[in-house]
Amino acid sequence: MNIDNILVLVRLDEDQLKKIKSVVPQAEIVLQKPKELTREQVERADIIVGNIHSEFLPYLKNTKLLQLLSSGVSKKYLSLHQTAPDCILCSASGAYGPAISEYMLAGLLMMMQRLHLYRDDRHKGEWKPREDARLLRDAKVLSVGMGDIGTSFGRLCSLLGAQVTGIRRRKTSPPPFIERIAGIDELDLLLPQMDVVALALPETAQTLGVMNRERFEAMKDGSYFMNVGRGSAVDQEALLWALRSGKLAGALIDVMDPEPLPPEHPLWQEERLMITPHISGQYHSQETQNELIELVCKNIEALKTGGEMTARVDFESGYRE
Does the annotation count 53 as an active-site position?
no
**Cis peptide before 202, with omega less than 30 degrees from 0?**
no
Longest dimension (CA), the chain: 66
Does the annotation count 215 as an active-site position?
no
Q: Distance between CA atoms of 320 and 312, rounded to whole angstroms? A: 5
Q: Distance between CA atoms of 58 and 76, rounded to whole angstroms? A: 11
Torsion 243-251-164-222 (CA) sign: negative
Query: Choosing from 230, 272, 291, 320, which is the catalytic residue?
Result: 230
State residue 219 phi and psi, 5-degree precision: -70, 155
Does the annotation count 278 as an active-site position?
yes
Q: Distance between CA atoms of 301 and 161, rounded to whole angstroms? A: 41
* Three-state secondary structure call for residue 36: helix
Query: Choosing from 55, 259, 271, 321, which is the catalytic residue?
Result: 259
The number of beta carbons lying within 10 Å of the beta carbon of residue 90 is: 24
Query: Choosing from 278, 284, 294, 301, which is the catalytic residue?
Result: 278
Q: Distance between CA atoms of 174 and 188, rounded to whole angstroms? A: 20
CA distances from 266 to 75, 124, 236, 244, 273 (A): 29, 21, 10, 11, 11
Per DSSP, the residues of 208-225 read TT-B-HHHHHHSPTTEEE
Q: Distance between CA atoms of 70 and 259, rounded to whole angstroms? A: 15
Please compute Rg for the chain using Cα positions.
21
The residues annotated as belonging to the active site are 230, 259, 278
